[in-house]
Structure formats: structure tokens, C-alpha cells
Chains A and B, each alone.
Chain A
Amino acid sequence: QVQLVESGGGVAQPGRSLRLSCAASGFTFSIYGMHWVRQAPGKGLEWVAVISYDGSNKYYADSVEGRFTISRDNSKNTLYLQMDSLRSEDTAMYYCAKYAEGATEFEHWGQGTLVTVSS
């Protein structure tokens, strides 16, 4: 049974950093690409970043380019999102999601971790 469990959310001041984690189980993590997607309060879903199965390719939404870094450790079955220079508009529930190489849909999602950026 596929499980994706996000952690690391919390409250951070503007300009500070947070690192999110996504622990994967129930599937062969090392052959799947992974995304981060977020949902601000009262808003819709917004794609944030993607990383290929081996970490060799990474892409970011314009809204986070240069501030967020996606990475993965296949030996630990874990996905990460390093969030630097946080802004109030980064306040959101952050979800990780898996995808098969070549696929364009988000195949399975975690339940999310809440990030609040506030002074």
C-alpha cells in the first residue's frame, strides 16, 4: 500500500527557512519521480517543484525558483523541500506526490504538512 507521509511543517518568520520531508513506503521509491504541490488557505492547488527518479532533473514554479530546493535520498526513501527566504505568501499546506516517469499526472498524494509564515 502506497504511503507518503509529509513532516517538517510549522511556523516560521518571514525570511527564515524550513525543510519539509516526505517519507515514502509501499512502492519502489527509486524508480518514481516526485512532486511538491501546495494549497494556500482558501485557494486551489499550485504545483511547486518536481524531481526525477534519480535526482538528475529538477524544475520549479516561478513563484519559488531560487528560494526552494527539491532533493531526495533514495537510500532513505525520502523526498525533501528546503524552503529559504520564506514569504507570507508561502503559507500553505504542502503535499508530496509521486508520478511515473513520462506520466503527467500526480498518481498518489500524501496528506500534507502545514507551513505558516508569520512574524
Chain B
Amino acid sequence: SYVLTQPPSVSVAPGKTARIACGGYNIGSYSVHWYQHRPGQAPVLVIHYNSDRPSGTPERFSGSNSGNTATLTISRVEAGDEADYYCQVWHSNSFWVFGGGTKLTVL
């Protein structure tokens, strides 16, 4: 089965840039989607197809994908960005696959 690996946690000071990695074998050949999940709320799609922002996603959120790593970048981090972030791909053998999730802490 296809495996996506994320760091359990990332910490960043307000106003700084957070980068959350998502590792997978040859992930650059797949479309990667990113979700923000605040406790007690519904997950929200923030980046789809590697780098596209759905309507409603602030421009501070961006994505990239190449080789064996996809990255979600959040610029000018705000307290409200504190949440769990998940990467996700569709794989022909494993279907819909999620990374283990990264807890973003705003210091």
C-alpha cells in the first residue's frame, strides 16, 4: 500500500512561514491535496492539485510537489492557522490515502 509520511508537529511564530512536508515514493507524479482540520470542526480543503487554492483559501497558503516530497507553505502565519494538516493522494492500488497529519502550533 502507498504510504504518505508527515512530521507529527511543526511550530512557528506568528508572522513567520510554516512549511509542512508530505513524503511519498515518487509523490511528484501524483496530485496532492491538503486539508486543515481544527478540533471539533469539519476538515477543510485548503490546497488541491498540488498548488491550486479553492475559493476561500487565503493567498497565504501555497503548495508544491516534486520528487518524493510535497510541501504546504503557510506565509505570515496567524493564530487562527493552528490546526492539524493532512496531505492526501489518490493511488490506484490504495485508493484514497492520507498522511498521518501534522499539528501546527503557533507559538
Interface pair A109/B89, CB less than 8 Å apart: no
Tell whether A35 is near chain B: CB-to-CB under 8 Å. yes
Min CB distance, B55 to chain A, in Å? 11
**Contact of A45 with B by CB under 8 A:** yes
Partner of B42, one of A35, A47, A59, A95: A95
Q: Report chain B residues within 8 Å CB of A107.
A: 45, 54
B100 contacts the other chain (CB 8 A):
yes
Q: For chain B, residues 45 to 94, give those with C-beta under 8 angstroms from any C-beta of chain A.
A: 45, 48-49, 54, 86, 88-90
Q: A44-B100, A47-B96, A59-B95 are in contact. Are A104 and B42 (CB under 8 A)?
A: no
Contact B98 A104 (CB under 8 A): no
Q: What A residues does B44 contact at CB under 8 A? A: 109
Nearest residue, chain A, Cβ from B47:
A105
A106 and B41 form a contact (CB under 8 A): no
Contact B43 A104 (CB under 8 A): no
Asked if A101 CB lies within 8 Å of chain B CBs, one says: no
Type the 1/0 row for B26-37, where 1 means its CB is closer than 8 Å to any CB of A.
000001010101
B44 CB → nearest A CB, Å? 7
**Is the CB–CB distance between B41 and A111 below 8 Å?**
yes
Q: How far is the CB of B22 from chain A (nearest CB, A)?
A: 12
The answer, yes or no, to whether A55 is at the interface (CB within 8 Å) is no
Q: How far is B101's CA from A37's CA once the two chains are assembled, in angstroms?
A: 14
| Assembly CA distance A108 to B33 (angstroms) | 13
Q: B88–A106 contact, CB under 8 A? A: yes
Interface residue from B31, B43, B49, B54 paired with A45 (Cβ < 8 Å): B43
Which B residues touch A73, using CB under 8 A? none
Q: Does A50 contact B (CB under 8 A)?
A: yes
Chain A, residue nearest B96 (CB): A47
The CA of A37 and the CA of B97, in the complex, are separated in Å by 11
Do B98 and A44 touch (CB < 8 A)? Answer: yes
Q: Give me 16 other A-B pairs in contact (C-beta within 8 A), A47-B97, A50-B95 excluded.
A: A44-B99, A45-B37, A45-B98, A45-B101, A46-B98, A47-B95, A47-B96, A59-B95, A104-B33, A105-B33, A105-B88, A106-B35, A106-B45, A107-B45, A107-B54, A108-B45
